[in-house]
Structure 1
């Protein structure tokens, strides 16, 4: 059962999301909070798989708080469900550590799609923003362009990493040694200009979701 924490200062939103998740059957809402102080206290005291977050709650430093939350709780997946338009905050939210962003004006089905995709380990933003994130900058600098410069073996390693495989498992599946896997990872970090493996995996999932 996926453990979910809802952070929003509007009671009707907390109640509504809880009801939606209860109807799904595979989520357990372990709590709901209305400000940043309660949020941090709950994250420190309870096991949370998925955080559904309104970035505009009191005592929370807006989008920049995402980076701190991901640093302290790297295994928690974060979906931002916000009153702010996606065009304003979605890309920044993803860059700061969220795995998805959906507006409160979205349909119930779209909110559910976002929750399920993020919980599966994917990235969720609307299609036009996803393409923008993948190809941001000019054609010679975008992530899609860099991806197309990868070798077939590098792409295989990247796809296995994005599926949660460890070095030993990748080595076994591709019939190579673990040292070679590490070499490929270093190449991927450099070619895709990622700071770490987590960012590398995020790049891979963005590319997959955009069918690049």
Structure 2
């Protein structure tokens, strides 16, 4: 039996997943946490076979959390269960140490399949995103292929910009200074071949709309 730790600040998500997995003899939820502080406190005492975690966990940026867990608790297998489209965060999450990325719009069967695959040591990505990543096919001149070229940190900055966060907020969330945020914005404009921030955000949101 594989043990599961849930890290999500939405009560209905934690209760729902716990109820679902209670019907699966191969999976057991051994705890649930609602913040980064609770998560790291739990991991210091016990490592689950799979950590199912949301990308927007309170008190810490999701990608930063993945990197920290990978460093401090290297044996932890992590599956991101997120409301954000796979194209926006999946690659960054995998690079940061996750073993899978799953949208909260998937079926209960897919969720259990993903957990079991990660528990066995595999990598889980939605079939559609896997095909798109492999082919590089998307809107216009290869929008997804452009996103694939972004570093993990560039993708983090881009996603925060797309949600309306300001330079100061991004700097605080990622523990960098505002000048560095500006440097990342300049790189993003060049890599995604747009002329201004408005077009940059438009492309990002267009990608989101095309994948929901």
The TM-score bracket by the shorter chain reads 0.5 to 0.7
What secondary structure sits across from 1:23 in the alignment?
coil
Deviation at 1:132, TM superposition (A): 4.7
What secondary structure sits across from 2:32 in the alignment?
strand
Deviation at 1:134, TM superposition (A): 5.1
Equivalences for residues 54-93 of structure 1 within 5 A: 54-93=54-93
Gaps of 5+ in 1: 137-212
Q: Do structure 1's residue 23 and structure 2's residue 23 form an aligned pair? A: yes
What secondary structure sits across from 1:63 in the alignment?
helix
Aligned partners of 2:78 and 2:98 also within 8 Å: yes
Deviation at 1:116, TM superposition (A): 1.2
Match of 1:100 in 2: 100
Aligned partners of 2:67 and 2:96 also within 8 Å: yes
Aligned partners of 2:5 and 2:52 also within 8 Å: yes
Deviation at 1:127, TM superposition (A): 2.1
Deviation at 1:87, TM superposition (A): 1.5
Deviation at 1:44, TM superposition (A): 0.5
Deviations 1:129-163 (A, max 9, x none): 22454577xxxxxxxxxxxxxxxxxxxxxxxxxxx
Deviation at 1:64, TM superposition (A): 2.3
Match of 1:119 in 2: 119
What secondary structure sits across from 1:93 in the alignment?
helix
Deviations 1:10-44 (A, max 9, x none): 01100111112111112221110001100000011
Q: Distance in 2 between matches of 1:13 and 1:134?
A: 31
What secondary structure sits across from 1:24 in the alignment?
coil
Gaps of 5+ in 2: 137-212
Equivalences for residues 1-212 of structure 1 within 5 A: 1-133=1-133
What's the TM-score once normalised by structure 2's chain length? 0.61
Q: Distance in 1 between matches of 2:76 and 2:95?
A: 15
Which segments of structure 1 move beyond 6 Å, counting only runs of 4 or more?
Answer: none
The count of residues paired between Structure 1 and Structure 2 equals 138
What's the TM-score once normalised by structure 1's chain length? 0.61
Deviation at 1:95, TM superposition (A): 1.0
Q: Which has the higher contact order (CA 8 A, sep 6+)?
A: 2
Aligned partners of 1:91 and 1:129 also within 8 Å: no
